C-alpha cells in the first residue's frame, strides 16, 4: 500500500509521495517517515519528534502543539507558545529598557561625581595624614569620648592629622605649638578662628548674636570686647561684686555646717552657688527667680550643646517640630527659658537702669548702647546681642566651673596630704578667721600650683570649641580645604611625654620653683598649659574661673576637710577614666563628707 494510509477511525489521509496527512481530530498522521500515535503524543521516525503534550517537535519542518494544530516549519510555533513567547519578549524588552535607563543614570552620576572630584581636586591635594574610613563617609566614633580616639591617632599620625567623621572633614591639632600657630599667630587669625555654622547660634542665639558660636567677624570682635570689659568692671574687680561673692561663699560654708558631715555629692551645694554668682554678675544681685532661670538655662542648654544632640538638630533642624519626642520637648523648653531670661535680664533691668549708678554687667551694656546711639544714631549692640552675651556666659561658666570644682574635690579626696598642705598655706597666709579674698591668690603659690595641675591633669575641656576655616588654608606644609572643622586637642597637649615629666602623674610641684614660688609665666610648663585655649578665641572667663576656684577652695578648706565616707571607695583618678559629659569631663560619681577641721582628729578617732 505504498503511498496510501488510513488511521483507525477510518478518517483517511492519503497521499502518495507528498509529505503530511492528518485526520480532522489530528490524531494520526501518516506519511512515509512521519508518524503520530492516536493521542497525537508521539511520532517516531528518524529525526522527527514531538513531546507528550505535542507542544514541541524538533526536526526540520515539523511542529505540533497540544491541540495538534500543526506547524510545518522550524520557525512556526503554536499560537499559545507564540503568545507566551511574545509576552516574555515584552517583559524582556521592558527589562532591557529599564537596564538601559539605569546604566545611563549610573554613567551620568559617575560623570558628575568625577567632575566634582576634578574641580575639588585642587583642594584635596596635599592633605594632612590621618586614619582612613569608608569612602566619603569616613569613620564613626564615640562622639562624647572623641578626645580619646584623637589622642590615639595623634600617636600614629603626629601633631597634625585629619579625619573624616560621618562625612565631616576634621583637622586635629595636638600640640601647643601647632595650636598656637593656627589660632594665635597673626598669619592665621582671620582664617582659622571661625566657628562652624550651628543650630544653637542660629536658632537660640537669634541668628548668631552671640560670642561663643559666632564666626570671626567685626561684630564678633566688638561683642567680645564689650563682654570682656563689662565682666572685668563688674566681676571680681568690683567691690560690690566681691562683697556679694563673699556672702555667697559664707552661704556655702553655712550649708556645709548644716549638713553636719553627712555624705553628699558636693555639687548639690556648690552648683546653686555657681548659678547665683553668674546671675549676680549680670544683675548686681540675684533674686530666686533669676537664679532659677539661670539654673534652668544651664541644665537644658547644656543638654542641647552636647555634640551628639546638637548634631541631630543641625542635620535635621525640622526635628524640633515633630511633636511628642525628645528634640521637640527640649527645643520648646529652651525657648521658654530663653524668654524667661529675656524678661528677667532685659525688661526688668531696663526699668532699674540708671546711668548714674551702674552696678552690673547688663546695665553696663545698656550704657554702651546709649553711647553708640549718641555716636552713630543706631547702636549695633541690640537687646538681642545682650541677651546672647548672657546666654553665652551661662552656658560656658557653670558647666566648666562644675567640672573643675568637682574634679578638684575628687583629687583632694585622693591626696589628703595635698589637702593638708593647702590648709597649712591658708593658715599661714590668710589665717583661720579672716575671709579669703581674690588678692590672696598671688600669696598662695601652692594653692595656685594645685589648681593649675588639676586643670592640666584632668583637662576638663579636652578639646577646644570647634574652630572652622571658610577658605582654603595652607599651613604646616599641608593644604586645609575650606569648611574644615578644627579642634585643638588640649588633652593630648597636657599629656605629652615630650612636654611633661610623668604626664600621667598628678604633681603640683611642677609649677613651683625650688623655693616654693610659682614658676614664671614664660616657663615651658606655663606655656604648655593651655586649658583656656589661646588667641582670639581664648576663654573670656579664665581669670574669673581661677578666682572662683581659689575662693571656693580657700573658704571651704579654711573651715572643713573633705573626707571619703566610711565604707565607700573612690574610683581611679586616672584622667583617661574621667566621665564625658560632653563638652566637659567630670570625675566618676562620688560622695564625700565635709567635716569641720577642728573635729577632724575626733572624727578620725571614731
Which parts of this chain interact with ligand HEM (CB under 6 A)?
183, 211-212, 224, 392-393, 396-397, 400-401, 404, 460-461, 464-465, 531-533, 537-541, 544-545
Q: What is the DSSP letter of 473?
A: E
Q: Which positions ≥6 away from 331 have C-beta within 8 Å?
A: 203, 304, 313, 320
Q: Which is nearer to ligand HEM, 495 or 559 (CB)?
A: 495
Which residue, among 179, 220, 216, 286, has the nearest Cα to 532 in the 3D structure? 179
Q: Which is nearer to ligand HEM, 34 or 454 (CB)?
A: 454
Q: Are strands 593-596 and 560-563 parallel, antiparallel or unpaired?
A: antiparallel
Contact 460, 400 (CB under 8 A): yes
Confirm or deny that 26 is annotated as ligand binding.
Answer: no
Q: Which is nearer to ligand HEM, 271 or 320 (CB)?
A: 271
Least distance (Å) between residue 231 CB and ligand HEM: 7
DSSP letters for 491-547: HHHTT-TTTSSSTTS--GGGGB-TTSPBPPTTSHHHHS--TT--GGG--TTHHHHHH
- Within 10 A of 211 (CB to CB), how many other CB atoms are there? 27
- Within 10 A of 266 (CB to CB), how many other CB atoms are there? 24
Distance between CA 553 and CA 140 in Å, rounded?
Answer: 40
Distance between CA 343 and CA 349 in Å, rounded?
Answer: 9
Helices (H) and strands (E) in the chain, counts: 20, 16
Least distance (Å) between residue 484 CB and ligand HEM: 15
Least distance (Å) between residue 495 CB and ligand HEM: 16
Which residue, among 512, 595, 486, has the nearest Cα to 193 in the 3D structure? 486
Q: Which is nearer to ligand HEM, 195 or 573 (CB)?
A: 195
Q: Which is nearer to ligand HEM, 486 or 499 (CB)?
A: 486
DSSP letters for 117-147: HHHHHHHHTTPPP----BTTTBB---GGGHH
Least distance (Å) between residue 464 CB and ligand HEM: 4
Q: Which is nearer to ligand HEM, 189 or 328 (CB)?
A: 189
Q: Which is nearer to ligand HEM, 161 or 532 (CB)?
A: 532
Q: Are strands 160-165 and 168-173 parallel, antiparallel or unpaired?
A: antiparallel
Q: Which is nearer to ligand HEM, 198 or 464 (CB)?
A: 464
Distance between CA 72 and CA 564 in Å, rounded?
Answer: 104
Least distance (Å) between residue 115 CB and ligand HEM: 36
Least distance (Å) between residue 546 CB and ligand HEM: 7
Q: What is the DSSP letter of 489?
A: B
Residue showing the smallest CB distance to ligand HEM in the complex:
541
Long-range contacts of 352-360 (CB under 8 A, 24+ apart): 359/234, 359/238, 359/240, 359/284, 360/234, 360/280, 360/281, 360/282, 360/283, 360/284
Helix (H, G, I), strand (E, B) or coil at 561: strand
Least distance (Å) between residue 258 CB and ligand HEM: 27
Least distance (Å) between residue 288 CB and ligand HEM: 21
Annotated binding site for heme: 539
Annotated binding site: 539
Amino acid at each position: 500500500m505504498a503511498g496510501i494510509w488510513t488511521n483507525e477511525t477510518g478518517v483517511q489521509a492519503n497521499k502518495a509521495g507528498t509529505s503530511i496527512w492528518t485526520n480532522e481530530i489530528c490524531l494520526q498522521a501518516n506519511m512515509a517517515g512521519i508518524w503520530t500515535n492516536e493521542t497525537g503524543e508521539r511520532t517516531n521516525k528518524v529525526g522527527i519528534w514531538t513531546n507528550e503534550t505535542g507542544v514541541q517537535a524538533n526536526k526540520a519542518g515539523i511542529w505540533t502543539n497540544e491541540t495538534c494544530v500543526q506547524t510545518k516549519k522550524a520557525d512556526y510555533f503554536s499560537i499559545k507558545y507564540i503568545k507566551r513567547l511574545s509576552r516574555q519578549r515584552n517583559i524582556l524588552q521592558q527589562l532591557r529598557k529599564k537596564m538601559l535607563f539605569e546604566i545611563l543614570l549610573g554613567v551620568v552620576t559617575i560623570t558628575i561625581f568625577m567632575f566634582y572630584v576634578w574641580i575639588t581636586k585642587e583642594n584635596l591635594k596635599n592633605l594632612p595624614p590621618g586614619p582612613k574610613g569608608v569612602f566619603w563617609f569616613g569613620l564613626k566614633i564615640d562622639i562624647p569620648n572623641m578626645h580619646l580616639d584623637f589622642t590615639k591617632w595623634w600617636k600614629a599620625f603626629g601633631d597634625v592629622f585629619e579625619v573624616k567623621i560621618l562625612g565631616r572633614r576634621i583637622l586635629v591639632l595636638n600640640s601647643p605649638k601647632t595650636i598656637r600657630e593656627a589660632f594665635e599667630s597673626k598669619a592665621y587669625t582671620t582664617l582659622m578662628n571661625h566657628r562652624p555654622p550651628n543650630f544653637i547660634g542660629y536658632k537660640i542665639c537669634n541668628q548668631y548674636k552671640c560670642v561663643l558660636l559666632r564666626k570671626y567677624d567685626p561684630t564678633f570682635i566688638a561683642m567680645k570686647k564689650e563682654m570682656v570689659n563689662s565682666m572685668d568692671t563688674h566681676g571680681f574687680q568690683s567691690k560690690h561684686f566681691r562683697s556679694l561673692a563673699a556672702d555667697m561663699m559664707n552661704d556655702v560654708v553655712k550649708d556645709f555646717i548644716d549638713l553636719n558631715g553627712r555624705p553628699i555629692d558636693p555639687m548639690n551645694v556648690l552648683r546653686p552657688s555657681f548659678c547665683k554668682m553668674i546671675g549676680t554678675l549680670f544683675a548686681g544681685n540675684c533674686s530666686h527667680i533669676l537664679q532659677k532661670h539661670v539654673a534652668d538655662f544651664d541644665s537644658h542648654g547644656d543638654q542641647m550643646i552636647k555634640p551628639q544632640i546638637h548634631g541631630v538638630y543641625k542635620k535635621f533642624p525640622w526635628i524640633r517640630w515633630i511633636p511628642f519626642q525628645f528634640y521637640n520637648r527640649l527645643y520648646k523648653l529652651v525657648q521658654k527659658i530663653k524668654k524667661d531670661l529675656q524678661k528677667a535680664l532685659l525688661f526688668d533691668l531696663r526699668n532699674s537702669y540708671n546711668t548714674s549708678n551702674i552696678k552690673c554687667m547688663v546695665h553696663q551694656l545698656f550704657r554702651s548702647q546709649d553711647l553708640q546711639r549718641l555716636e552713630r544714631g543706631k547702636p549695633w549692640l541690640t537687646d538681642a546681642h545682650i541677651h546672647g552675651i548672657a546666654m553665652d556666659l551661662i552656658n560656658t561658666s557653670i558647666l566648666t566651673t562644675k567640672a573643675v570644682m568637682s574634679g578638684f574635690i575628687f583629687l583632694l579626696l585622693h591626696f589628703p596630704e595635698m589637702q593638708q598642705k593647702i590648709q597649712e598655706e591658708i593658715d599661714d597666709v590668710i589665717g583661720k578667721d579672716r575671709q579669703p579674698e581674690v588678692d590672696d591668690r598671688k600669696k598662695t603659690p601652692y594653692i595656685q600650683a594645685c589648681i593649675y595641675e588639676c586643670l592640666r591633669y584632668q583637662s576638663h575641656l579636652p578639646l577646644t570649641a570647634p574652630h572652622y576655616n571658610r577658605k582654603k588654608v595652607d599651613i604646616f606644609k599641608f593644604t586645609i580645604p575650606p569648611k574644615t572643622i578644627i579642634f585643638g586637642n588640649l588633652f593630648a597637649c597636657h599629656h605629652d611625654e615630650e612636654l611633661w615629666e610623668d604626664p600621667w602623674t598628678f604633681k603640683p610641684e611642677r609649677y613651683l620653683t625650688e623655693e616654693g614660688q610659682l614658676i614664671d609665666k614664660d616657663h615651658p610648663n606655663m606655656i604648655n598649659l593651655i586649658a583656656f585655649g589661646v588667641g582670639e578665641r581664648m576663654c573670656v572667663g579664665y581669670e574669673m574661673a581661677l578666682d572662683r576656684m581659689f575662693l571656693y577652695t580657700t573658704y571651704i578648706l579654711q573651715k572643713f576637710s573633705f573626707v571619703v565616707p566610711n565604707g565607700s571607695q573612690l574610683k581611679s583618678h586616672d584622667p583617661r577614666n574621667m566621665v564625658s559629659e560632653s563638652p566637659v569631663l567630670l570625675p566618676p560619681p562620688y560622695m564625700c563628707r565635709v567635716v569641720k577641721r577642728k573635729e577632724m582628729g575626733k572624727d578620725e578617732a571614731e
